Structure 1
Amino acid sequence: MSDLLEGRTAVVTGGSSGNGRAICRTFAAEGADVVVADIQEEPREGGEPTHELVEAETDAGATFVDCDVTSKDDLDAAVEAAAEFGGVDIMVNNAGIFHGEEFLDVDEAAFDRLMDINVKGVFFGSQVAAERMAENGGGAIINLSSVAGLQGSADFITYCTSKGAVRLMTYSLAAKLGPEEIRVNAIHPGLIETKMTTEDVAIIGTEAEDNFMQGIPVGRAGQPEDVADTALYLASDLSSYVSGESLVLDGGMTNTQ
């Protein structure tokens, strides 16, 4: 590794599992201390808790904070925990859920829960991080959206709505926070092999996988490490002139169908 994040501290929501876990491990391998902010310490895929794995694999500092992203107080506590390592430099708003219920069957409770996690959590995660970053001379905010935030789908209306909101929020935050030396960018993953796509959405490992694969030019599902490498680029000085961008990570699917 090349120590691209040496001396920096990252807060990663949803950091215990899936993409968030991979991001924490990659950031730590590149020198960053990490705050794993999640509603559960145990990874959905099994294994050691992410903060313990990070400390075992690297010389980076790591801590776990119980964080429900629908609570601004929890988000504030997660960002405050970064003070142990010198303060937050990188905020990754990764926590999110999937909802694909038929349009006419969506009830208010399900809609509100999706928006609270996928949209409110990103907004207030960015807010509490930006306040600290502005005091400390800048930083990077990375929001996890989705290819579902780039185009509509009759099957995933609520999910597309939430992820589209994250995309436009990212653009707006980049405009607002640029003068504070805070860069804000979004990642739009396509089909990534996590518990969300094997269990929650149930694409990988089912008949639906073949249909998806036919639309992916590179011929494979993405891995959490692909998301982590993209986040590393956006968190590091390699992207020092990149802000207000939507980086699509889908193996060519979106623009070739």
Structure 2
Amino acid sequence: MEPLLADDVAVVTGGASGIGRAIARRFAAEGADVVIADIEESPREGGDPTHELIADETDANATFVECDVSNPGDLEAAVDAAEAFGGVTAMVNNAGIFHGEEFLEVEEGDFDRMVDVNVKGVYFGAQAAAKRMVDSDGGSIVNLSSIAGLQGSADFVTYCGTKGAVRLLTYAMAATLGSDGIRVNTIHPGLIETAMTTDDYAIIGTEAEDEFLGGIPAHRAGQPEEVADAAVYLASDLSAYVTGESLTVDGGMSNTL
């Protein structure tokens, strides 16, 4: 059976760790060459760098590019790196940050940093890829949002705002780029077991875990690989007639709260 992403070239921001790492590995397993664009080469969860792991696991080409997604120039450089493999055909804007907050105590610097990474990084990552795609045969852009982009939360006001922005940016990008053969979709992960949920959210492995799992119909946290499967679908020809869509991967959590 032909790999789903044979002859594709993907750029995955935040690809060194967590969900991005799982996406990069899954894309490579499906035949894509991959550029891992991240601010750090070493995975937060430990182990070999993603591009080295891909080289050990598959026949795909993979490289790492240091990239701060709040800097449009870094995003342009990451997309440029894909030219070594033939040019970007799939862009996964996965990089994001989170911190809990009390709304009345949020400081401007924290607000700006979250917007810069979670919104500006997606906007200019998509723009950098689309510039190349309009001159080729089109492509697929997958933006990572969150179920926090679908509903409000008292403790995560800024985060919800940034992830909601990603959802609406996706719809507008799909409308703008469709005539150029570029599909744009977004994934909304729920509680996924990564360093973000163990360290930043501080949910997995804490007393709060049972409360959260009890509110999820699947009665468990998701795994990064399950989000990666959704990304493969949206990047491949399996979703050739899908654009401007939100795909929720949350075990039913957002529809039952």
TM range (shorter): over 0.9
Match of 1:136 in 2: 136
For this pair of structures, how many residues does the alignment match?
Answer: 257
Secondary structure at the counterpart of residue 91 of structure 2 = strand
1:222 Cα deviation from its structure 2 partner? 0.2
Match of 2:51 in 1: 51
Q: What whole-Å deviation, never above 9, does each CA across 1:77-101 have from its counterpart, x for those lacking one?
A: 0000000000000000000000221
Structure 1: how far apart are the matches of 2:22 and 2:137? Answer: 27
What pairs up with 1:5-84 in 2 under 5 angstroms? 5-84=5-84
Amino acid in the other structure paired with 2:21: R
Q: What whole-Å deviation, never above 9, does each CA across 1:118-143 have from its counterpart, x for those lacking one?
A: 00000000001000001112000000
Structure 2: how far apart are the matches of 1:72 and 1:256? Answer: 38
Amino acid in the other structure paired with 1:194: T
Match of 2:213 in 1: 213
Structure 2: how far apart are the matches of 1:211 and 1:246? Answer: 26
Structure 2: how far apart are the matches of 1:24 and 1:115? Answer: 24
TM-score of the aligned structures, taking structure 2 as reference length:
0.99
What pairs up with 1:95-114 in 2 under 5 angstroms? 95-114=95-114
Q: What whole-Å deviation, never above 9, does each CA across 1:13-65 have from its counterpart, x for those lacking one?
A: 00000000000100000000000000010011111100010011000000000
The gaps in structure 2 that reach 5 residues or longer are: none
Match of 2:242 in 1: 242
Structure 1: how far apart are the matches of 2:185 and 2:107? Answer: 31
Secondary structure at the counterpart of residue 37 of structure 1 = strand
Q: What whole-Å deviation, never above 9, does each CA across 1:180-231 have from its counterpart, x for those lacking one?
A: 0000000000000000000011000011111111111011100000010000
Match of 1:92 in 2: 92
TM-score of the aligned structures, taking structure 1 as reference length:
0.99
Match of 2:172 in 1: 172
Secondary structure at the counterpart of residue 233 of structure 1 = helix
1:194 aligns with 2:203: no
1:256 Cα deviation from its structure 2 partner? 1.6
Amino acid in the other structure paired with 2:225: E
Amino acid in the other structure paired with 2:59: D
Secondary structure at the counterpart of residue 10 of structure 2 = strand
Structure 2: how far apart are the matches of 1:180 and 1:2? Answer: 26
Question: Percent of counterpart pairs with the same letter?
Answer: 71
Amino acid in the other structure paired with 1:179: S
Structure 2: how far apart are the matches of 1:240 and 1:112? Answer: 36
4+ residue segments displaced more than 6 Å? none
Structure 2: how far apart are the matches of 1:151 and 1:197? Answer: 18
1:148 aligns with 2:148: yes
Match of 1:230 in 2: 230
Structure 1: how far apart are the matches of 2:186 and 2:99? Answer: 20
Structure 1: how far apart are the matches of 2:186 and 2:164? Answer: 11
1:2 Cα deviation from its structure 2 partner? 4.5
Structure 1: how far apart are the matches of 2:215 and 2:202? Answer: 17
Structure 2: how far apart are the matches of 1:143 and 1:47? Answer: 26
RMSD: 0.7
